[in-house]
Amino acid sequence: MSADTHYLSMDLLRFTTAGSVDDGKSTLIGRLLYDSKAIFDDQLEAIERATEQRGEDHLNLSLLTDGLRAEREQGITIDVAYRYFATPRRKFIIADTPGHIQYTRNMITGASTANLAIVLVDARKGIVEQTCRHSFVAALLRIQHLIVAVNKMDLVGWSEERFNEIVSQYKEFASRLEIPDICFIPISALHGDNVVERSTNMPWYQGSPLLYALETVYIGSDLNHVDARFPVQTVIRPNSNEHHDYRGFAGRIAGGVFKPGDSVVALPSGRTSRIASIHGPGGIVEEAFAPMSVAMTLEDEIDLSRGDMLVKANNAPQGSQDIEAMICWFSETRLQPGGKYLIRHTTREAKCVVKTVRYKVDINTLHRVAGDTSIGMNDIGRIHLRTSQVLMCDTYRRNRATGSFILIDEFSNATLAAGMIVGTGHADLPAGDFMDMGGL
């Protein structure tokens, strides 16, 4: 991988925060922004005024992310709040998601593009059901890096013993999840201990503060740079005198590396050609890789349109009309076995029918719900879909971009569900509990 690839991978970190209600997610994000000097003066003045009106002793940094007055009055964060900030080392996009079980769909939305998840644990309460649920969702969405931030350490006397007890409890639970990189940091978001600066109240903790961990976590190997995947979004035909014969295929690379001269196959037609040139926002590029947006020209005139995919000849994705998938249901209208929907996978849209609901998952115990195949809002389950067109897909485990899809109501155009492909064809189900199935 080139230096440019490394730079692109390291430059931006998307992360999500999750935890129970009142674990301090919004306060933590506010503290990160405040201590890293990412708050504008007028925002700070507004927070100071609101804190004074509430009669609170400490500057209430949670007000920075709880943008709606109604949400503030309820004391909870309802929707996904995105915040942006930067340090000299890295740029960040934060998704602050709700803690309530009825907002699981919001967490799925916020975490679907995240490189890292911060799971907050109240040092007084320890590991609770929401901790397990949010960690499970992070594993389901193939988030490779997780930070367990044990918050409110000031309320347990900065106890090393209590911190170690929580770490031990979490490790026992997390042994059932497939998250390769987990670290634990004791913090006090309210007072700023171990958030940006190292805490003097916990000299026993020898690790890095939270911000330094976010700045230095390596995510360059998270993307699939092996399997070359280029879903075509649109065909560019300028029809101008300057570019009379230009015919470029534009889209975002979903995996692998492409270079001029590479032999490629167009799917689903199977026609072959070679890449003539690759154009990025700044002009011609010598190589392109995920997640770059580019336009490619080919040496041969072959028929390509939106929904098709360019891949390498010796490394094609699975092409199938039978899809096995895990889904999170977003809609108040329940999933209907035999129901007909639109499926949007990469740049291809097709009709589909739900042939079978395999099972529903209890996201607190990670077990199947015996005999219950009714999927409603915020439920997670496994289904078998039959599509009207062949989809060129990988498993979500292998590639998050080509292994994911959404289901859409074809009449209202509402997004009904997010799906993660487990396999193609009529996959057999192993016995055992959900996390033993190896399908995530």
Q: Is the pLDDT of residue 302 over 80?
A: yes
Sequence-ordered strand ranges (E) for 308-414: 309-312, 318-329, 340-345, 348-362, 367-368, 380-393, 404-408
Q: What SS3 class is residue 109?
A: helix
For residue 52, the surrounding DSSP H or E stretch is helix 41-54
What is the residue extent of each domain of the chain? Answer: 3-216, 229-312, 318-436
Provide the 8-state DSSP code for 3. H
Each residue of 245-299: pLDDT tens digit? 788 999 999 999 999 999 999 999 999 999 999 999 889 999 999 889 999 999 9
pLDDT for the residue numbered 248: 92
pLDDT for the residue numbered 51: 63
Instruction: Bin 366: left if φ > 0, else alpha if -120 < ψ < 50, else beta.
Output: left
- Look up the CATH number of domain 318-436: 2.40.30.10
Reported as a pLDDT band with limits 50, 70 and 90, residue 32 is confident
Reported as a pLDDT band with limits 50, 70 and 90, residue 76 is very low
Q: Is the pLDDT of residue 26 over 90?
A: no
Each residue of 104-142: pLDDT tens digit? 777 787 788 899 999 999 999 999 888 888 888 889 889
Strand-pair partners of 184: 148
pLDDT for the residue numbered 204: 97
Each residue of 142-188: pLDDT tens digit? 999 999 999 999 999 999 999 999 999 999 988 888 889 999 999 99
Summarize the confidence of residues 425-432 as an average pLDDT: 52
Residue 45, judged by CB atoms within 10 A of its CB (0-12, 13-18, 19+), counts as: exposed
In this structure, which topology does domain 229-312 adopt according to CATH?
Elongation Factor Tu (Ef-tu); domain 3 (2.40.30)
**Closest alpha carbon to 116 in 250, 197, 18:** 18
pLDDT for the residue numbered 95: 80
Each residue of 196-218: pLDDT tens digit? 899 999 999 999 999 999 999 99
Q: Is the pLDDT of residue 73 over 60?
A: no
Q: 428 near 282, Cβ under 8 Å?
A: no
For residue 228, the surrounding DSSP H or E stretch is none
Summarize the confidence of residues 387-399 as an average pLDDT: 94
Tell me, yes or no, if the two domains 229-312 and 318-436 fold the same way. yes
Sequence-ordered strand ranges (E) for 103-160: 116-122, 145-151
Q: What gap in Å lies between CA 305 and CA 232, rounded to an integer?
A: 7
pLDDT for the residue numbered 48: 64
Q: 417 near 246, Cβ under 8 Å?
A: no
Q: Which of 49-53, 129-133, 384-388 has the lowest mean pLDDT?
A: 49-53
Summarize the confidence of residues 408-420 as an average pLDDT: 93
How far apart, in Å, are the Cα atoms of 440 and each of 65, 171, 326?
32, 19, 8
Residues counted in the chain? 440
For residue 172, the surrounding DSSP H or E stretch is helix 160-174
For residue 243, the surrounding DSSP H or E stretch is none
| Sequence-distant contacts of 54-60: CB under 8 A, at least 24 apart | 58/190, 59/34, 60/27, 60/30
User: Mean pLDDT over all residues of the chain?
Assistant: 84
Reported as a pLDDT band with limits 50, 70 and 90, residue 81 is low
pLDDT for the residue numbered 176: 81
Q: What gap in Å lies between CA 213 and CA 210, rounded to an integer?
A: 5
pLDDT for the residue numbered 187: 95
- Look up the CATH number of domain 3-216: 3.40.50.300
Sign of CA dihedral 174, 197, 41, 61: positive
pLDDT for the residue numbered 439: 37
pLDDT for the residue numbered 214: 95
Q: What gap in Å lies between CA 164 and CA 157, rounded to an integer?
A: 14
